[in-house]
């Protein structure tokens, strides 16, 4: 993968940084994007000497964002081989409690922005390229309170599958990574709450936390030639929660009050 170039949106977050690091370990140069220039600069400093990384601080929903992001990757690194649509909004709630403002935010960040960035990137991507969406298991099954969040995650799958059919003949692969809830700075505060454990830990066969590195490693694999015939697929990184009816022994033996 040496010499190839990737764009990673939402690069300064926990999962985004893990993706950047995993791609960098494969010799890929990375252009990261995000709204917070300070966090992106700190990441660039942290990666110095290990990953060839630069960034564009920009609102992904702005009209000029796709052109500026793709142009920056080409100007800095000379080409574009991998696009990772990682940025998103974690704004969710029941449909009847979802305001137009909430809906527009999630649609704008998690569906419209990736659609427009893919459109721009496809103009210059060639054979052997890879487009990836970082979605969620909430896009695979019904979840109470999913609302707009689950809607756009499922919508990303539709976009991915359409592009897999449309651009597969050009040698451009499109795939979707569906993580379970990942332990990051954002989720750490409620990780051990009883409700969260009941709805996540006790339904997951693998008895460890899903980490950002787990997601980064899957992205690096799907972007590589080792996954050269993987196209149009949704791959869950979730310890088995989406495909089993597992219930922990503690939950099975719990006495209802």
Say how many C-beta atoms besides its own lie within 10 A of residue 39's C-beta. Answer: 18
Taking the alpha carbons of 214, 219, 220, 222 in that order, is the dihedral positive or negative?
Answer: positive
Backbone angles phi, psi at 115, to 5 degrees: -55, -50
pTM for this predicted structure: 0.95
Q: Is 47 helix (H, G, I), strand (E, B) or coil?
A: helix
Would residue 203 count as lying in a domain? Answer: no
Tens-place pLDDT, residues 137-151: 999 998 899 999 999
pLDDT band of residue 202 (cuts 50, 70, 90) is: very high
Would residue 29 count as lying in a domain? Answer: yes
Task: State the average pLDDT over residues 35-54.
Answer: 96
Confirm if 55 and 34 have CB atoms less than 8 A apart: yes
Would residue 192 count as lying in a domain? Answer: no
Tens-place pLDDT, residues 107-128: 999 999 999 999 999 999 999 9
Whose CA is closest to 116, among 157, 154, 85, 149? Answer: 85
- Name the residue with higher pLDDT: 188 or 98: 98
Q: Is 79 left (phi over 0), alpha (psi -120 to 50) or beta?
A: beta
Tens-place pLDDT, residues 13-38: 899 999 999 999 999 999 999 999 99
Q: Residues 141, 149, 167, 246: which is the catalytic one?
A: 149
CATH of the domain at 79: 3.40.50.720
pLDDT band of residue 255 (cuts 50, 70, 90) is: confident
pLDDT(64) > 90: yes
Alpha-carbon gap, residue 154 to 142, rounded angstroms? 10
- Token readout for 108 is 């704008």
Alpha-carbon gap, residue 173 to 117, rounded angstroms? 16
pLDDT band of residue 57 (cuts 50, 70, 90) is: very high
Would residue 247 count as lying in a domain? Answer: no
pLDDT of residue 97: 95
**Number of domains making up the chain:** 1
Whose CA is closest to 65, among 100, 92, 31, 90? Answer: 31
CB contact set of 185 (below 8 Å; sequence gap of 6+): 14
Would residue 191 count as lying in a domain? Answer: no
Backbone angles phi, psi at 208, to 5 degrees: -150, 165
Alpha-carbon gap, residue 124 to 17, rounded angstroms? 25
CB contact set of 34 (below 8 Å; sequence gap of 6+): 9, 10, 11, 12, 13, 16, 40, 55, 57, 58, 87
Residue 176 a catalytic site member: no
Alpha carbons within 13 A on the beta-carbon side of 195? 2
Range of the domain at 91: 5-186+209-242
Say how many C-beta atoms besides its own lie within 10 A of residue 77's C-beta. Answer: 20
Would residue 125 count as lying in a domain? Answer: yes
Alpha carbons within 13 A on the beta-carbon side of 134? 33
Would residue 121 count as lying in a domain? Answer: yes
Would residue 28 count as lying in a domain? Answer: yes
Confirm if 103 and 148 have CB atoms less than 8 A apart: yes
């Amino acid at each position: 993968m040496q010499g190839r170039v990737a764009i990673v949106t939402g690069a300064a977050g926990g999962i985004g940084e893990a993706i950047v690091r995993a791609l960098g370990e494969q010799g890929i140069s990375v252009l990261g994007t995000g709204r917070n220039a300070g966090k992106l600069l700190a990441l660039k400093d942290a990666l110095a000497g290990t990953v060839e990384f630069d960034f564009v601080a920009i609102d992904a929903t702005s009209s000029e964002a796709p052109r500026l992001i793709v142009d920056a990757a080409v100007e800095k690194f000379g080409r574009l081989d991998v696009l990772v649509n990682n940025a998103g909004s974690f704004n969710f709630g029941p449909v009847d409690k979802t305001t137009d403002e909430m809906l527009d935010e999630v649609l704008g960040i998690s569906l419209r922005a990736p659609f427009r960035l893919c459109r721009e990137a496809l103009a210059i991507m060639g054979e052997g390229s890879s487009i990836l969406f970082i979605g969620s298991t909430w896009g695979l099954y019904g979840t109470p309170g999913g609302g707009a969040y689950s809607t756009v995650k499922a919508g990303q799958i539709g976009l991915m599958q359409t592009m897999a059919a449309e651009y597969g003949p050009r040698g451009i692969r499109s795939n979707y990574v569906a993580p379970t809830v990942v332990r990051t700075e954002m989720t750490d505060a409620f990780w051990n709450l009883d409700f969260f454990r009941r709805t996540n830990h006790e339904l997951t066969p693998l008895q460890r936390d899903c980490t950002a590195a787990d997601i980064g490693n899957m992205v690096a694999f799907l972007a590589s030639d080792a996954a050269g015939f993987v196209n149009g697929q949704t791959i869950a990184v979730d310890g088995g929660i989406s495909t089993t009816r597992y219930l922990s022994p503690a939950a099975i033996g719990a006495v209802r009050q």
